[in-house]
Structure 1
């Protein structure tokens, strides 16, 4: 039957329900594992594997619907863009909570931490060493992902591939330096509110970098398989928006926590 509307009414799918069960299993497994219950690690591992599998199959179906069946019309793409924008706004609120905790503690330090900021006994990291280098690396990766976007718009597939590979390599270098910084840090997450806010905010940002790297890696594979055209590359567009969001959050982390928070 011919569609008389530009919207995509999805077919019934088991993957949303199964993905929610996998996420629930991951949460329960994580709680059991962190409280040292027998078998908690197995529940967590199975939940994570099940989650990755179900999400992969679900997104495979979305790619099939959009790329091969042509069901993602301009109306559908606009709806997905709005969804991605709302998701990024929710991520902004997520990091806003960490910054709130940081400034709540740093602007009026309590007597329990010596009434000073950074707290007494905390040796802060030098912002002009690894943090500044990582800032340059991440900003450069933002430029290279923009290069990839313009190359796709111009129909230059090879240029886009090179730009995406550069972005992924820079992201891997950033992650490696952050791991090195964590290993050599003179404090840990249990060292007062400073350690808690530092590792929670920078650690979750590092997790977002990993997710963004996987996002861009999938886009690279899809680009190699000719899934993107000049007018139909929403998957890459969403990845680029997400990566720029990661860049901006890092700038706030560098200025507020590494530089201002260590003065």
Structure 2
């Protein structure tokens, strides 16, 4: 038990790290073999994903049982908070690199390539944004901000409100309201993903906007695609937290598992606001 201020709970030796390593082994070799069109690669990928799912359910379930058994106290809680804070900071740096690449391309590279003193290679390139860049003649239509992107912004901002309402309900021990608002957050998250899938389909089929559409296409899919991946992870985590809440987990004074996921979801919201402004609006 770890209820004091000086003791840190240390679990018994665990099998899960080696199980996770085995999953990575099969996934790595499976991916390499698949890219080289070796049939066995698909089987190795399947085995790798099966082991990975087994590890996730087993390891996370074990941690949840330890938490509900009261083995985590104030010292562990502080450690978890610092760990999640640094993780989100690393995610901020991750997206900052992509936003930096977009800024470098739009503000520095494209204008310089179109400048009269530097357009020796592509004298007909006039610059401007959005553009595929010099030397690419394929035409495309950029994705507009209003319509589906604006609706997706509304969905994510609303989900930030609902997860906050769920958090308040948890702190006040109002379990029905907690489950209702958390379920609404999950629904909004998956609705966002469904809309983004439709948006990509529309971009490819109707706008001819693809990953191969030069500077604009690559940065558009890189930024929105990685964000969609993070929304997928966040929606899955929220779903797990919902089932834990339905099972009676978390207490008003002890619920960092819920808070950590809420922090992550708010981070996803903020990143989308940046995307909506710099990718869609400007």
Structure 1 length as normaliser, TM-score? 0.92
Deviates more, 1:12-21 or 1:105-114: 105-114
Q: Quick one: structure 1 residues 44 and 57, their matched pair in 2 at CA, closer, same or farther if it must change by over 3 Å? A: same
Residues 12-91 of structure 1 mapped to structure 2, 5 A cutoff: 12-68=13-69, 70-91=70-91
Structure 2 length as normaliser, TM-score? 0.86
- Tell me by how many angstroms 1:24 deviates: 4.0
Which residue of structure 1 aligns with residue 117 of structure 2? none
- Tell me by how many angstroms 1:231 deviates: 0.7
Which residue of structure 2 aligns with residue 245 of structure 1? 267
Q: Quick one: structure 1 residues 225 and 9, their matched pair in 2 at CA, closer, same or farther if it must change by over 3 Å? A: same
Q: Which runs of 5+ in 1 are unaligned?
A: none
Which residue of structure 1 aligns with residue 119 of structure 2? none
Aligned mates of 1:188, 1:66 — CA distance in 2: 46
Residues 169-248 of structure 1 mapped to structure 2, 5 A cutoff: 169-185=187-203, 186=207, 187-248=209-270
Aligned mates of 1:256, 1:179 — CA distance in 2: 20
Which residue of structure 1 aligns with residue 118 of structure 2? none
After superposition, the C-alpha distances for 1:4-53 in whole angstroms (9 at most, x for unaligned) are 84211121001122213313432343343344333323222322221121
Does residue 165 (structure 1) correspond to residue 177 (structure 2)? The answer is: no
Which residue of structure 1 aligns with residue 103 of structure 2? 103
Give the structure with higher Rg (CA): 2
The RMSD of aligned alpha carbons is: 2.0
Aligned mates of 1:85, 1:132 — CA distance in 2: 29
After superposition, the C-alpha distances for 1:172-191 in whole angstroms (9 at most, x for unaligned) are 11111100000000211121
Q: 1:152 aligns with which of 150, 166, 170?
A: 170
Q: Which runs of 5+ in 2 are unaligned?
A: 115-121, 133-138
3-state SS of 1:179 partner: helix
Matched pairs, number = 259
Aligned mates of 1:138, 1:124 — CA distance in 2: 22
After superposition, the C-alpha distances for 1:108-135 in whole angstroms (9 at most, x for unaligned) are 2146794332115331011011111100
Q: Quick one: structure 1 residues 203 and 232, their matched pair in 2 at CA, closer, same or farther if it must change by over 3 Å? A: same
Runs of 4+ in 1 over 6 A off after TM superposition: 1-4
- Tell me by how many angstroms 1:200 deviates: 1.5
